Amino acid sequence: MKRRAIRRRVGVIMGGSSAEREISLRSGHAVAEALSARGHDVVRLSLGDSFGPDLWATLQRARIDAAFLALHGRHGEDGCVQGLLELARIPYTGSSVLASALAMDKLKAKELFRLHNVPTPPYYMVGVGDDLSDLEGLHGSFGFPVVVKPKGEGSSIGISRATSLEELRGALDDAFSYDDEAIVERFVGGTEIHVGILDGEVLGAIEIAHQRPIYDYETKYGADPVDYFMPTRLSPQRERGVLNLAERAARALGCTGAVRVDLLVTAGENEYVLEVNTLPGLTPDGLLARIAGAKGYEFADLCEAILDGARLHQPARRRSRVEPLAQPAGYAMVNGAAPAAAMKSVG
């Protein structure tokens, strides 16, 4: 699926301070190489641990037409950088500030799934400040096994499976090393399906099989064998239902651009959405690239299609002429302008 690209100056933003920094760098360099090969003027913006004034100054110096976000995890996938790009008026790939934040926050995502009748495994939340001396009472009749996840991390960072109160305590300690809040989710045994979506179009699904109890960080990026099935081994009717559910989950959060939805499909004919990834990993052998490849996209095609969707999500409001009110006695102007409370809008 060859595309005729409009040459742009593109800033590929990667790296950052999250636990997924190394994965982000892999994605960013792969995207940069693909876009460069297609003739774009690519600037690799590899961020360090600080996003503040340094990033703003970097964006100003780079003078880019669009930002391609290859960030993963906290501060990159949760709406923070997206908000900065909105302020800088630089179109960017992926979802809006709000959708990014909702998808990254596992608690809020689950609450919205339930509101929109999107099935997700039962759960409860534990905070780092909660009294865990009576963990048995807190856990109650929830049962085992469970999966414990940091509320605001991605790529299966800090995820553990627990089969007892002792393991649950250790899993919570591990999760709290990444976040102040953790989700305790009922373990659901089933087939792991990942669905790719691009600009609202469902591209397809891939099935993953592995030997570990859960699809954690080590399984994703370690040396353990993982089998991929495309098409999936689901019946055509069942797969259509899974694709529809994935699309509903992404829509419930308001996600746009390239999205990957992770689901579990049980032998009892139930499907559960685990999470929605608004900035999925982008390497030629990554899950989204595999799914898009079956749809006819070469990796560079996929990168260009994502770039084509770069935009601002906040409307450009009509500028108003502002006039200061009469200055009262003892009133001080700040930097030559009156405070907002003493301003009125006209026209």
Kindly list the catalytic residues. 20, 155, 221, 260, 262, 275, 277, 281
Task: Give 104's contacts (C-beta < 8 A, 6+ positions apart).
Answer: 74, 77, 78, 79, 152, 154, 278
Q: H/E/C letters for each residue in the chain?
A: CCCCCCCCEEEEEEECCCCCHHHHHHHHHHHHHHHHHCCCEEEEEEECCCCCHHHHHHHHHHCCCEEEECCCCCCCCCCHHHHHHHHHCCCECCCCHHHHHHHHCHHHHHHHHHHCCCCCCCEEEEECCCCCCCHHHHHCCCCCCEEEEECCCCCCCCCEEECCHHHHHHHHHHHHCCCCEEEEEECCCCEEEEEEEECCEEEEEEEEEECCCCCCHHHHHCCCCEEEECCCCCCHHHHHHHHHHHHHHHHHHCCCCEEEEEEEECCCCCEEEEEEECCCCCCCCCHHHHHHHHCCCCHHHHHHHHHHCCECCCCCCCCCEEEECCCCCCCCCECCECCHHHEEEEC
Between CA 183 and CA 146 the distance in angstroms is 10
